[in-house]
Structure 1
Amino acid sequence: MMKKVKLAEEMVEVGRRLYQSGFVAANDGNISVRVNEKHVLITPSGVSKGFMSASSMLLVNLEGEVIEGEGRPSTESAMHFDIYKHRPDVQAVVHAHPPTATGFAVAGIPLDQLAMPELIVTMGTIPLAPYGMPGTDELPSTLRPYYQEHDAILLSNHGAVTMGRTLTEALFKMESVEMCAKILFTARMLGRVRELSDEQVDKLVDSRSFYGLKGAHPGKKIIEQRRKKGEQS
């Protein structure tokens, strides 16, 4: 019981930060966190993320059935459940509409240029998933190919979703997505995005172990693709 209450309070804080950062407006966005293997807490539909209470969170199973609480689960709950089913390591999911990153998603541009060391080490790249109708099973099906190697994904014409081992980690990744988008947008306006070399990226990817980061890293694939293009040209 205490764990559930604490997690619900953390969800309130994450929602407040998303709202104050301008990553969501009105009733946009949704947040969830695992309570155990079978159940998650998720934000209810039609509630502003800046004005939530811990008691408003819904306890649901991964089929979307409400176990505790009043109201309907978020309209994007299918996306959250699908992530949890395919990524047992993920403990929290955040979906928001950070303005600059969502601008890239609307323009059809992924955040996949290897230009910022911090992002390369932590998340590698942020792909753009094809458009899927919000609030339907179509949306998670467009994201599924990216789950295993990405903790942050842009949703075409929609927003972004991030995953973490904790609610705070998922929030921080959303902040990193927006910061990355702002920096790349500025560099594009200045006329050039200067990417790091393959060797520089290799060293950054290898440094992940120093920071205790594990798992697949999408930067490796992009390096391989760049090298193949170089060999073919």
Structure 2
Amino acid sequence: MTQQLQLAELVAACRWLGAKGWAPATGGNMSLRQDSEWCWLSESGKDKGSLTESDFLQVNIGDNTAPSGRTPSAETGLHTLIYRLFPEAQAVLHVHTVNATVLSRLVKGNRLTLQGYEMQKSLRGQSSHLDALQLPVFDNNQDISALAQRINSETSKDDLQWGFLLRGHGLTCWGRSVQEARRHLEGLEFLFECEILRRRLEVL
């Protein structure tokens, strides 16, 4: 698939998640790898449900700079971290869904464990509901550079194979294609909703 078609696919994914209300009030950010040195990342302050291809900026994966002089998303450093850690990563989606935001605050430790859900199989490499799926949870930080350094130093690549939660902030997930990133997002969002409902019913 050509870069232009991949970017068009990412724009379609942005419209889809925007329609679901998963990136409200210009929140969230999305990106696509161009090659080993560059990615295309959504511009800051744009409504993600109405993005066009011209709203994506070329960003250097090594130093987070945008040659255009325009301002990429505030979470640029989280996207480029994923691209540096995983050469196979082709797309990164960061969303502010209610389920991800609330569940990240309910988790007391640094891992969200999910088990017993058939939809765990929506994530690459998962083949059974019996497996214990763990997703890292990090405290939010407005200093994205420091946050990216912490994620890199405190977490193994195996822990980040689908993405991570930021406490009170949202979900960052990735895939080997736009389609896979979108599937991971939808699957995780379903699992988060189920887990919140399960926890709510347990205290009734």
Structure 2 equivalent of residue 64 of structure 1: 64
TM-score normalized by structure 2? 0.83
Structure 1 equivalent of residue 150 of structure 2: 142
User: 1:191-210, aligned counterparts within 5 Å?
Assistant: 191=202
More strand by percentage? 2
The 2-side partners of 1:79 and 1:165 are apart by 16
User: Paired residue for 1:155, among 166, 170, 190?
Assistant: 166
Structure 1 equivalent of residue 91 of structure 2: 92
User: For each residue in 1:27-69, what CA deviation from the matched residue of structure 2 results, as whole angstroms up to 9, or x when unmatched?
Assistant: 10011111111111110111010111112211121122224x5
* Identical pairs, percent: 25
SS in 1 for 2:11: helix
Query: Which has the higher Rg, Structure 1 or Structure 2?
Result: 1
Shift of 1:175: 1.2
User: 1:66-145, aligned counterparts within 5 Å?
Assistant: 66-67=66-67, 69=68, 71-108=70-107, 110-119=111-120, 122=123, 125-134=133-142, 136-144=144-152, 145=155
User: For each residue in 1:191-217, what CA deviation from the matched residue of structure 2 results, as whole angstroms up to 9, or x when unmatched?
Assistant: 28xxxxxxxxxxxxxxxxxxxxxxxxx
**Bigger relative contact order, structure 1 or 2, given CA contacts below 8 A and separation 6+?**
2
The 2-side partners of 1:51 and 1:156 are apart by 27
Structure 2 equivalent of residue 43 of structure 1: 42
SS in 1 for 2:113: coil
The 1-side partners of 2:41 and 2:120 are apart by 28
Structure 2 equivalent of residue 33 of structure 1: 32
Q: For residues 142 and 105 of structure 1, do their structure 2 counterparts lie closer, same or farther at Cα, with a shift above 3 Å needed?
A: farther
Moved more, 153-162 or 132-141: 132-141
Q: Indicate conservation of the 8 Å contact 1:162/1:170, yes or no.
A: yes
Following TM superposition, where does structure 1 have runs of at least 4 consecutive aligned residues deviating by more than 6 angstroms?
none
Moved more, 55-64 or 21-30: 55-64
Q: For residues 120 and 168 of structure 1, do their structure 2 counterparts lie closer, same or farther at Cα, with a shift above 3 Å needed?
A: closer
In structure 2, list runs of 5 or more residues that go unmatched. Answer: 127-131
In structure 1, list runs of 5 or more residues that go unmatched. Answer: 193-233
SS in 1 for 2:39: strand
SS in 2 for 1:81: helix
Shift of 1:87: 1.2
